[in-house]
Amino acid sequence: MPDYLSWKETYQSFGVELPVDLWVQNIGSVTFFDPYTHLESLVGRALDRDAVKAARRRRDDELMAQQGRMPGVADYLAEARQLGLKTAVASSSRHAWVDPLLNRLGLTDQFDAICCRDDVEQRAKPDPAVYQAALAALDVGPDEALAFEDSPHGAAAARAAGIFCVIVPNEMTSQLTFSQPDYRLTSLADMPLKQLLGHVAANGAPFLNSNARRIREFHAAIGSPLPAAPRLRDADHLAMRHKLIQEEYEEVTAVFQAIIPALQAGEQPDTVEALTPLVHELADLLYVVYGAIEACGVDADAVFQEVHRANLQKAGGPRRADGKLLKPAGWQPADVRSVLLRQQGNGR
């Protein structure tokens, strides 16, 4: 809005008007409307663009100084940190505009990466380049990300990058048409981040169904947030985690030891009645194992993905007599060390 107002006042200083319908074409991008060229066409002569730019920029800075954080932004960033989510800015503007704004609002340190169009050869939205740069900076895939956008061009860029997009329109874009939005909020203040993640998980964004994310949500809910980067916990904490795993393992073992002999004796128990305690205890065991990994500030999903990648290499390999798939010749183990080093460097 300040950008539009400063341009509107600039036009008026030359005795002409800036049509809103032209201005909104450029919101979220920079390639659909050139206000300098349009202004010159209205006044019928070339302008001293440097002088116009300097005067308009001064007025834009004055208007921006009156702007505060949008409702809900601070809470969302705080919740994201509690949940171990990495955050980035993906903007069609240049660093020269974005960086001072974030500094003034006290938000620079809240983001793991700040990606602007001058990082991607001036390619602005709806080109997905700036989103792709943000994904690379955070070391996440498109299906592991969630975008917040206030313009159709921004939403198109997020979708082109394969990212689930939540629309939060501003005052000027609220009446614009967003083509098939993934999800829409009037304001971030309308819904806490954790609640939004639940809604989004039911409609897409598969990373939100992550068990590791649920573990972090649990610890945030009980007031015990987990480390944001790899950290070796003290002996007492590790002993507690080991005890939890041992207790759940013993409970799983007890269920197996009840079911297996019954089946070997020819009994045919009801499927649901037999599986209920088994899968319940297995889920409890899974919960504490994920908790032990996440408690050390390690992204359990990333570790699991690397182990999964290595295990896929076993396909077609030999099998043990009991059916276990064995390692084929040339098999390489999961490179968990590299996963930890990457997380340590990125702060997860």
Question: What is the model's pLDDT at position 30?
Answer: 65
- The strand pairing partners of 180, in sequence order, are none
In order of 40, 133, 243, 347, the CA distances from 344 in angstroms are 52, 20, 27, 5
| E-strand stretches of 171-298 | 183-184
Taking the whole predicted model, whether its pTM rises above 0.75 is answered as no
Question: What is the model's pLDDT at position 348?
Answer: 55
Side chain identity at 204, as an amino acid letter? G
Question: Cβ neighbours of residue 155 under 8 Å, at least 6 residues apart?
Answer: 28, 147, 149, 165, 167, 178, 179, 181
Question: What is the model's pLDDT at position 132?
Answer: 95
Question: What is the model's pLDDT at position 173?
Answer: 79
Residues of the chain with pLDDT under 70: 1-2, 25-26, 28-32, 63, 180, 202-209, 345-348
Q: Which CATH number fits domain 235-346: 3.40.50.880, 1.10.3420.10, 3.40.50.410, 3.40.50.300?
A: 1.10.3420.10
Question: What is the model's pLDDT at position 284?
Answer: 96
| 173 and 29 Cβ atoms separated by less than 8 Å | no
CATH code reported for the domain at 73-209 = 3.40.50.1000
Question: What is the model's pLDDT at position 346?
Answer: 57
Q: 3-state class of 122 per DSSP?
A: coil
Question: Cβ neighbours of residue 325 under 8 Å, at least 6 residues apart?
Answer: 314, 315, 317, 318, 319
Give the 3-state secondary structure percentages of the chain, helix then strand then coil, rounded to 5: 55, 5, 40
The count of other CB atoms within 10 Å of the CB of residue 188 is 21
